[in-house]
Every structure is written in structure tokens, then in C-alpha cells.
Amino acid sequence: MADILHRIGVEHSSPKQVYDALTTLEGLSGWWAEKTSGNTDVGGVIEFRFGPGGFDMKVLELDPGRLVRWEVVDGPPEWIGTTVRWDLHQEDDFTIVLFKHEGWREPVEFMYHCSTKWGTFLMSLKQLIETGQGAPDPRDVRISNWH
């Protein structure tokens, strides 16, 4: 099993602001995929759409201002059954986001791609809160021929 890890700090923000960007359709569509729909409550499924494909995430756990956990219930075969975990806490004037996409069965080339892509989307989340403007799909940062 292999995991993707990332850490960012969102300046001049509170964990509540970051939590809202991870748990509302408006927030999620501002940094990850403009086409985001579904139910963001625990047990609900959120549908993220990127051009032809996408991911369906079941909300496993919510602890306001501290923790968000999703399970991938539909999407690319490599993603199904993996989980995504967001831990939030405050340090000085930063909200620290610890991100973990865990449970990849094999470190396939697609995992390398997704690791870098998650990094750029986390920077998009940071920018959304710091500046009011993220870079969600389809305005996301292109990193390679795989987009």
C-alpha cells in the first residue's frame, strides 16, 4: 500500500474557513472541480466532474474545523476504495492542512501524476482562501500530457 502526502499552510485564515472550502459545494467548486454536486453530509456522496471523467466521494467523517474524510466510491479503478483524509489545525497565522490520499494498491505511474496534481490543487485551495480566486478544473494548472 502507498500513500500520497501533502502539507500546506493557508495564511491569514482559520481552520473553519478551510473546513468550509472542503465541505460545501461552493467551496469545493472553487478550488478542485467547478462541476461539483451531491450531498456533503456524512454518508452523502459528492460528485466531482473533470471533462469526461470524475470521482465520487462518500463522506466518511466530519469534525468541524479539524477533520474531513472521504472514500472513493467511483472513478478510475486505481482510486476506488482509497480514502482521502484532511487534518486541519492552526499554527500562528496559518491554517495547516495535512492531506493524505491513502491505500493505493500499487505505486503505478498514475499515482505519480495524481501526487503532483493534488499538490497543485492544494495550492489552488490555498489561493482560493488567500485571494478569493482558486484554479479549479477546467482552469487548473496543466502539469503534463495527462493534463
List contacts with its own copies (CB under 8 A).
2-9, 11, 91-94, 96, 98-100, 107, 109, 111-113, 115-116, 119-120, 122-123, 126, 141, 143-146
The smaller minimum CB distance to its own copies, of residues 4 and 46, is found at 4
Residue found under cell 489552488: 124
CB of 47 to its own copies, least distance (A): 26
Instruction: Name the minimum Å distance from CB 80 to its own copies.
Output: 19
Q: Kindly tell me which of 25 and 110 has the beta carbon lying closer to its own copies.
A: 110
Beta-carbon contacts of 57 under 8 Å, excluding residues fewer than 6 positions away, are 45, 46, 48, 70, 71, 72, 73, 84
Minimum CB distance to its own copies smaller for 103 or for 119:
119
Task: Please spell the DSSP secondary structure of 3-55, one letter per residue.
Answer: EEEEEEEEET--HHHHHHHHHSHHHHHHHTBSEEEE--STT-EEEEEETTEEE
The least distance separating its own copies from the CB of residue 3, rounded to whole angstroms, comes to 7
List all residues 6 or more positions away from 3 whose beta carbon is below 8 Å from its beta carbon. 100, 101, 102, 103, 104
131 versus 144: smaller Cβ distance to its own copies: 144
Give me the least distance between CB of 25 and its own copies, in Å please: 25
Return the CA Rg of the chain: 14
